[in-house]
Amino acid sequence: MNARRTAFDVLRQVTAEDSYANLALAKRLATAGLDARDAGLVTELVAGTCRSMGTYDAILEEAAGRKLSSLQPAVVDLLRLGAHQILGMRLKKYAAVGATVDLARATVGQRVTGVVNAVLRKVAARDLDGWLDLLAEGEDRIGALAVRGRHPHWIVEAYAEVLPADELEAALTANNVSPQPTLVVRPGLADLGDLDGATPTRFSPFGATVAGSPADQEAVRQGRVGVQDEGSQLVAWALARTPAPEGPWLDTCAGPGGKAALLTGLAREAGTWLLASEAQEHRARLVRQALAGYPDGAAVIAADGTAPAWDRAFARVMVDVPCSGLGALRRRPESRWRRSPADVAALGQLQRDLLRRAIDSTVDGGVVAYVTCSPHRAETVDVVDDVLAERPQARRLHAPDALPDVPDCSLGDDVQLWTHRHGTDAMYMSLIRC
């Protein structure tokens, strides 16, 4: 199977079956039998098309002169792939159009080749900047940034609430760049010297990047080193280094296990242990796999964090709540077009309940880290403000004090990391003294 056909099949899974692009892509590449060059082409076709899908859809509707909903869904995906080759990858126009028409003939049938050819030739009449200029006409500042940054309008509005105006464009641009995988050295199991060609990360003492695939590293294959964004490492480290009484630690939303593994290593070094709780059994199994390298120092249970299954309190509690994921858009290329403001609102009650139970599960003088991989105010500051208003015994700490070497990470008393500033996912953290 060739690269474009493989990319088309993956894109159909994403748009027709709501599959995650990164997972569907990895699964298909594992069995496609492609060489490295073609595998790279498939990755660019899928990730690039998904990342700019809403923008390409607007361009295609202008070029077609009709709504894309009037076309067969498989034809729309063919047009999206063609648009990305013409506008995003800047391949030779006639080659990109011809290859997409051939793909249309092989997948949907001869009858659709005419419309695919006609629409893509109109797309090729302008370059990407020309199309973005056209789409941005008449838009206000936020609307123009959304068009040019290839994000939905509501996400740009959410960023604008918490970022200075002169950083918005850089923040959106950073979301359009695929991240290099970051590795985490698990305390007590490995150190940076166990990695071939490691380059330490800027802020986390546990992080590194390497050339090539993480799976090429023996320490990764042995489970002594994992793959984890530096932002996730930093919030776990901040919790571990904030003064607290002696006693066991708790991770209430532990799946898939990256933070739980780092916290387990840090807890063992502090002479204690971690309870990792995850509501869904299949994700609890992932946590057990992530912790498999540790011979002791952790226990894993499948339990709902809003209805605690434990009968004791903990010294340090991590509550990394389910969220919209708007801080990790660079690694989830389709999610920006799949999410909506309703998704953010729907999570608010669960996020507040999880934080309430986390505070209830903490000893007097203990500390809670409330964490999201979203900078959206409704999932971050607003949640903490509401819950602390109910709990006068709990108080907000100045969280940036726990990350003194990370510049420009303050959001009031909380921490907000940004991809364009720190090179991490846009993680949010509030530290609460109970």
Kindly state the DSSP code that residue 126 receives in the 8-state scheme: S
Asked if residue 319 lies in contact with residue 371, where contact means CB atoms within 8 angstroms, the answer is yes
H or E segment to which residue 317 belongs: strand 314-320
304 annotated ligand-binding residue: yes
d(CA 314, CA 300): 15
- Does residue 256 have a cis bond before it (omega within 30 degrees)? yes
Tokens of 26: 């990895």
d(CA 351, CA 386): 11
Q: Is 373 a catalytic residue?
A: yes
Tell me the angle at which helices 36-51 and 3-17 cross, rounded to the nearest 10 degrees.
30
Burial of 260 (0-12, 13-18, 19+ CB in 10 A): buried
Q: Which of 50, 323, 373, 434 is catalytic?
A: 373
17 annotated ligand-binding residue: no
Asked if residue 391 lies in contact with residue 359, where contact means CB atoms within 8 angstroms, the answer is yes
258 annotated ligand-binding residue: yes
**Distances from the Cα of 115 to the Cαs of 66, 71, 168, 287, in angstroms?**
12, 10, 38, 49
259 annotated ligand-binding residue: yes
253 annotated ligand-binding residue: yes
d(CA 194, CA 165): 43
Position 131: which residue type?
A: W
320 annotated ligand-binding residue: yes
214 annotated ligand-binding residue: no
130 annotated ligand-binding residue: no
Q: What is the phi-psi region of residue 138: left when phi exceeds 0, alpha when psi lies from -120 to 50, beta otherwise?
A: left
- Give the contacts of 90 (CB within 8 A, at least 6 positions apart): 127
Q: Which residues are catalytic?
A: 373
Report the binding-site residues for S-adenosyl-L-methionine: 253-259, 278, 304, 320
Report the binding-site residues: 253-259, 278, 304, 320
